Amino acid sequence: MEIDYWLERWKQGEIGFHQNETNPYLRQYWQELSLAQGSQVFVPLCGKSRDMLWLHEQGHSLLGVELSAIAVHAFFVENRLSPQRVTSGKFDRYAVNGISILCGNFFDLGKDDLAKVSAVYDRASLIALPPQLRKRYVDHLVNILPAATQILFITFDYPQSEMLGPPFAVSPGEVAALYQQHAEIRLLAQIDVLAQNQRFRERGLSQLQESVFLLTTH
């Protein structure tokens, strides 16, 4: 059901979660990772995020995974890139100039797929998932990542009773509960962003807070 839901969202162009500009927290906090030039960065549930271009401009190679072929095609077309497409296991891999996107199900990824990854940029993955899938997502991610991988993790929280998800509310406490056995957790910032988000105010939210974490897997 969740797979069909997100495929339909892309098909209908209902992608309010997509940001047309580079995420400001990515720009502000990426330096906290002190990542070497040429390191590979993994972007789960990447959509057609322009954040991947910014990361590439910082000297990193990019590996994304995305369920929707529409999103993958849009990323390359909108950025005037012509990737090579190769079928690899359960994924179609699109690659050009150090940017690769695997089109398929995140849960089909294995350790071999992420063997060269040094860091993860994870914006809004958990808020796209209902509660029953979040632990499965986190457990799978940390299981297939190399040890000591850094994760810049961005999420947001609001009173769940005030709005049906997605996007769902994910509190800092839930992030701690999900990751504390798998990673060191450092909270970099918490920001009240309700005033800047009219569409969420119109949906009845009284509070909206974004949080930025730096996680380091064990």
Query: Which pLDDT does position 15 carry in this prediction?
Result: 67
Q: Does residue 8 lie within any of the structural domains?
A: no
Q: What is the pLDDT of residues 160-217, one digit of tens each?
A: 999 998 899 999 999 999 999 999 999 999 999 999 999 999 999 999 999 999 999 9
Q: Does residue 177 lie within any of the structural domains?
A: yes
Q: Does residue 156 lie within any of the structural domains?
A: yes
Q: Does residue 187 lie within any of the structural domains?
A: yes
pTM: 0.96
Q: Does residue 69 lie within any of the structural domains?
A: no
Query: Which pLDDT does position 17 carry in this prediction?
Result: 72
More confident residue, 71 or 13: 71
Q: Tokens standing for 124? A: 């809004």
| Mean pLDDT value across the chain | 94
Q: Where are the extended beta strands (E) located within 21-130?
A: 40-43, 61-66, 84-88, 91-96, 99-103, 117-123
Q: Does residue 14 lie within any of the structural domains?
A: no
Band (1; pLDDT cuts 50, 70, 90): very low
Q: What is the pLDDT of residues 99-120, one digit of tens each?
A: 999 999 999 999 999 999 999 9
For the chain, how many structural domains are there in total?
1
Per the CB < 8 A criterion, the answer to whether 119 and 152 are in contact is yes
Q: Does residue 154 lie within any of the structural domains?
A: yes
CATH number at residue 47: 3.40.50.150
Domain span at residue 46 reads: 23-63+107-217
Q: Does residue 42 lie within any of the structural domains?
A: yes
